[in-house]
């Protein structure tokens, strides 16, 4: 299902040549994108089978270099990266292609911890650049793990990981993606932003699995349902650097992976399972395991 051949979408992407360079004019983004840029983009966002948890090696080095370059660009031109624009487009095409207007998928939320405090420390343009960098790097990780970016909501990125024919257990892919996010934040984003005298950030991730209904609110598709609702409510119960998963997700993963989570006993969590009427169980990743 990915990558979609943009040459098939001649309404949005019109073949163009500017200054002798071949590419496409994106009629929605109102931007010419050269074939060279598109090839480079594909190299960093195309999903990889059984993509593991990011480590401190080539992945973080590439991310650091990309962040430093983009931070300089964002300070001059405060707009979303084309990677974000393109990946949202890919997601929309995928959802529109689903005949039943529903998908079984793992939902992932990732947001910045203490963004209100960050807003008090940083200038508005600095905070804006930091959120764009965060959103882009999270989006790339989502795509690498065979997920799709559903939307950007302030300092949060929301994604879904549907079961595709060519993919493995997508709930486990989402969990690996969540752990990768914490690693990239700590060892890439926070390293790179030091050059720009910006504060380091921490993130938290929530994941659950279930059926989601595709709806059209305006011109773009969206997802609604209990899964996406409960996942959004779980986010505050993950500590900085942690991943919290719901019981449905916990049932979908291997015994080995499930053992890396512990049941939450937080008394403030009081959301009920609509099927049983009992408090819905959530699990927190063990600190320091990833």
48 or 168: which leads in pLDDT: 48
Does residue 235 sit in the same domain as residue 269?
A: yes
Q: Out of 45, 61, 79, pick the residue that ends a domain.
A: 45
149 or 49: which leads in pLDDT: 149
97 occurs within a structural domain: yes
Would strands 203-217 and 243-246 be described as parallel, antiparallel, or unpaired? parallel
Does residue 54 sit in the same domain as residue 179?
A: yes
User: How does residue 74 score in pLDDT terms, banded at 50, 70 and 90?
Assistant: low
Average pLDDT score over residue span 207-225: 93
Tell me the CB-side half-sphere exposure of residue 207, using CA atoms within 13 A. Answer: 32
Would you state the pLDDT for residue 44? 87
DSSP codes joined into one string, 89-148: HHHHHHHHT-TTSEEEEEEEEEEETTHHHHHHHS-HHHHHHHHHHHHHHHHHHHHHTT-E
Does residue 31 sit in the same domain as residue 170?
A: no
Does residue 154 sit in the same domain as residue 201?
A: yes
User: How does residue 1 score in pLDDT terms, banded at 50, 70 and 90?
Assistant: low
Instruction: For 157-173, write each residue's pLDDT tens digit.
Output: 999 999 876 667 999 99
201 occurs within a structural domain: yes
Two structure tokens written together for 261: 């989570």
Does residue 99 sit in the same domain as residue 37?
A: no
Does residue 6 sit in the same domain as residue 109?
A: no
Average pLDDT score over residue span 110-116: 88
Q: Which of 128-132, 138-142, 150-154 has the lowest mean pLDDT?
A: 128-132
- Give residue 5's domain range: 1-45
Would you state the pLDDT for residue 289? 43
Would you state the pLDDT for residue 75? 59
Does residue 246 sit in the same domain as residue 153?
A: yes
Q: Out of 9, 30, 45, pick the residue that ends a domain.
A: 45
Average pLDDT score over residue span 38-48: 87
Would you state the pLDDT for residue 235? 95
Does residue 22 sit in the same domain as residue 155?
A: no
Does residue 12 sit in the same domain as residue 58?
A: no
Does residue 136 sit in the same domain as residue 254?
A: yes
Does residue 2 sit in the same domain as residue 70?
A: no
CATH code of the domain containing 147:
3.30.70.1230
Average pLDDT score over residue span 225-236: 95
- Checking if the pLDDT of 269 tops 50, the result is yes
290 occurs within a structural domain: no
Q: What percent of the chain has pLDDT over 90?
A: 59
- Checking if the pLDDT of 69 tops 60, the result is yes
Contact 181, 203 (CB under 8 A): yes
Helices 82-96, 124-144: crossing angle, 10 deg rounding: 50
Count the domains in the chain: 2
Q: What percent of the chain has pLDDT over 70?
A: 93
Would you state the pLDDT for residue 76? 61
Does residue 157 sit in the same domain as residue 65?
A: yes
- Checking if the pLDDT of 250 tops 50, the result is yes
Would you state the pLDDT for residue 32? 93
Average pLDDT score over residue span 79-86: 82
């Amino acid at each position: 299902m990915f990558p979609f051949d943009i040459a098939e979408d001649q309404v949005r992407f019109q073949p163009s040549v500017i200054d002798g360079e071949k590419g496409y004019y994106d009629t929605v983004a109102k931007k010419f994108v050269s074939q060279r840029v598109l090839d480079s983009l594909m190299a960093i966002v195309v999903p990889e089978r059984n993509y593991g948890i990011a480590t401190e090696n080539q992945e973080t080095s590439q991310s650091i270099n990309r962040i430093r370059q983009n931070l300089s660009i964002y300070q001059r031109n405060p707009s979303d990266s084309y990677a974000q624009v393109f990946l949202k487009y890919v997601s929309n095409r995928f959802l529109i292609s689903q005949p039943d207007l529903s998908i079984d998928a793992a939902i992932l939320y990732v947001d910045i911890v203490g963004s209100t405090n960050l807003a008090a420390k940083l200038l508005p343009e600095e905070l804006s650049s930091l959120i764009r960098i965060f959103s882009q790097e999270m989006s790339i990780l989502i795509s690498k793990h065979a997920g799709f970016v559903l939307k950007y909501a302030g300092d949060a990125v929301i994604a879904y990981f549907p079961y595709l024919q060519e993919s493995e257990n997508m709930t486990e892919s989402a969990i690996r993606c969540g752990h990768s996010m914490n690693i990239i934040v700590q060892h890439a984003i926070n390293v790179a932003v030091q050059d720009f005298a910006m504060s380091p950030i921490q993130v938290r991730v929530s994941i659950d699995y279930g059926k989601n209904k595709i709806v059209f609110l305006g011109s773009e598709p969206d997802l609604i349902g209990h899964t996406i609702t409960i996942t959004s409510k779980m986010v505050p119960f993950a500590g900085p650097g942690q991943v919290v998963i719901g019981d449905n997700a916990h049932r979908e993963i291997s015994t080995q992976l499930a053992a890396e989570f512990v049941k939450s006993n937080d008394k403030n969590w009081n959301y009920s399972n609509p099927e049983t009427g009992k408090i819905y169980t959530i699990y927190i990743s063990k600190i320091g395991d990833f």
